[in-house]
Amino acid sequence: MASSSTVTQETTAEEDLAFWKGRIEREPAVVLELWRAAFRKRSGRSNIDNTELWTITIAISFLSQAAGSGENKFVNGRPWAEPKTARVFAALRKNGLCAVCEEIVKQPDFFDLFLPFTIAVLDIIEAICVLELWLPVVDVSEVKSLGECVTRSLWAHKDYFLEGGPILDAPPEYGGQKEFSVRLRNTVVDLLAPFLFELAHKQNWGAQDDLRRIGLFCWLHTEGNEADILPTHIFKPILPLDTKPDPSMIDMERGPLSEVIRFTTEEAVPTYGAEPILRRLCQTLRAPWIVDAKLVALMQGVSLPILDAKMNAKLASTGLLLAWRDAVDRQFRDGTDVTSNWQVLDYTLQVFSVITIDVPIADGSAHLVRECGVVELVSRAVRMYPELGASEKGSALKECLRSISAYKKFAAAMNMRSGKNTLRKTFKQQMHREWYPTLQYLRSQSRSNIGTEKLLLAWDDFGKAVGLSEEQEKAKHAREAKKAAAERAHHCAWKECRFNEEKHPMPTTLRACSGCGVARYCSRECQRKDWKTGHKIDCRRLREAEGAFV
Ligand SMILES: [Zn+2]
Ligand SMILES: [Zn+2]
């Protein structure tokens, strides 16, 4: 007897673990009951006080993670765990793994017991979500109920994710309290949350608001971490990004968007304030890797929430509109997907024209005209229209006409001001640059398209509303083009070349780009560099602009 008790005491943690792993395979139901019982008997706040609870927990956690992670093989394109692990995990699920997890997560002291335990349980739940997404095995409602519980519990303990939160006795092997809150946050933000969000959308969970709260919270508290966190995941609970637009989406009164708007106005803004949210959004918009589909998804997601009254008032002062405008430029410069170009422009015009109409000029459109070059954006959209695919043309025409009409109203307001008013002058200058070339471009496009015709009429009207006359504009542009051509003739267009500023000593004119005939270069080297850094895009526009005067 004595010797056997000595053996038990000397059993190492690894042997304990091996023992429980074996037992899970043989008697999953029994282990789950023992786990539940050990949890109910929990005492103190360390793993030493709760040896059995801790050992069973990590045994289940190891097995769950093996079943739900990188050790997977792929079968028919779907991940499939090593058969034995998968079978054992399925047996745990069948015998009530979700129910035990739910009971544990529901207890108010779940986050206070000892944090390695909390994290191990969250890891188990993550594995349940992952496997549910890949291979729905047992019962949807079980996972849904567990998911709703865990989101509620996470939200109730949100302070624990913050440095200086109530975690006081994090064990030294985890680096103390600060390290621990970081670890806990990573577990939730990087691992658990994305899967929770995905499942919640797939299975239409009820706890949407709890998910949105956690999403917003995680995003706000991971500043400058754009490279590690997918905004599409973080935004998903706040904004139904993965939902294909359908009629209910557009229904602001009842659809998912109405929930997003309500959440923004009633919760997000009152809890965190409009400014911190917008400043955080500036960072996300400026992340260099957010282009193409990612940028479209982001803009789609935030375009309505930022039009909330309190946010709307801070769009200029927080730098959000500038960050937005820079993101548009990044898309056109770095994007590889042409259809995204249009979509980005489309969301931008939607947001900008609402601001122009709804916000006092001083806070809204003045900033858009002065700092964000909005006239050029509207002009760009109008020029893109003739080339869009048939499926995009319908909504694109509506958006272009809406923007033109918004800025026609703005023009009317400007006409009331004195001719010396600087905003009025800036606006007119921009219109001067854009209006006539775009008008000519539209005329050059096929007249067989009724949309292009409508746009042409609206654009023509727009210029007249600003007080531009076609004859005068044509003459002005021709004069300017001639003057600019004379200036360009002896200067290299590559802005870093010394002959960009300085006049080239060669008596004859420099060689022109064969694409546009406008840009001139002193050498092939300069031309190559300019092409790579932007002329590739400008070339076509310059050619079209030149065409307007021929
Ligand atoms: Zn040069
Ligand atoms: Zn060119």
Residues in the chain: 550
Contact partners, residue 363, CB within 8 Å, separation at least 6: 313, 315, 316
pLDDT, residue 252, reads 47
**Residue 244 binned pLDDT confidence (cut-offs 50, 70, 90):** very low
pLDDT, residue 6, reads 37
Region of residue 93 (left: phi > 0; alpha: psi -120 to 50; beta: else): alpha
Q: What is the DSSP string of 126-174?
A: HHHHHHHHHS--S-HHHHHHHHHHHHHHHHHTGGGGSTTSS-----GGG
ipTM for the whole complex: 0.88
Segment 309-322 shows an average pLDDT of: 91
Q: What is the pLDDT of residues 387-418, one digit of tens each?
A: 898 888 888 999 999 999 999 999 999 999 98
**Residue 236 binned pLDDT confidence (cut-offs 50, 70, 90):** very low
517 CA distance to ligand 1 middle (Å): 16
447 CA distance to ligand 2 middle (Å): 27
- Assess whether pLDDT exceeds 80 at residue 232: no
Residues with CB under 5 A from ligand 1 (ion): 492, 494, 497, 522, 526
- Assess whether pLDDT exceeds 70 at residue 70: no
| φ, ψ at 206 (rounded to 5°) | -80, -25
Q: What is the pLDDT of residues 510-530, one digit of tens each?
A: 999 999 888 999 999 999 999
14 CA distance to ligand 2 middle (Å): 70
Which ligand lies nearest to the CA atom of residue 513 in the structure?
A: 2
Q: What is the pLDDT of residues 261-277, one digit of tens each?
A: 777 888 888 988 999 98
**What whole-number percentage of the chain has pLDDT above 70?**
81
510 CA distance to ligand 1 middle (Å): 10
Tell me which of 122-126, 266-270, 539-543 is least confident: 539-543
Which ligand lies nearest to the CA atom of residue 521 in the structure?
A: 1
214 CA distance to ligand 2 middle (Å): 50
Segment 26-51 shows an average pLDDT of: 90
419 CA distance to ligand 2 middle (Å): 37
pLDDT, residue 176, reads 60
Amino acid type, 412:
A
377 CA distance to ligand 2 middle (Å): 21
Show the CA angle centred on residue 356, arms to residues 317 and 255, nearest 5°. 95
542 CA distance to ligand 2 middle (Å): 7
pLDDT, residue 12, reads 64
Which ligand lies nearest to the CA atom of residue 522 in the structure?
A: 1
3-state SS class at 342: helix
pLDDT, residue 219, reads 78
Report the chain's mean pLDDT, rounded to a whole number. Answer: 82
498 CA distance to ligand 1 middle (Å): 7
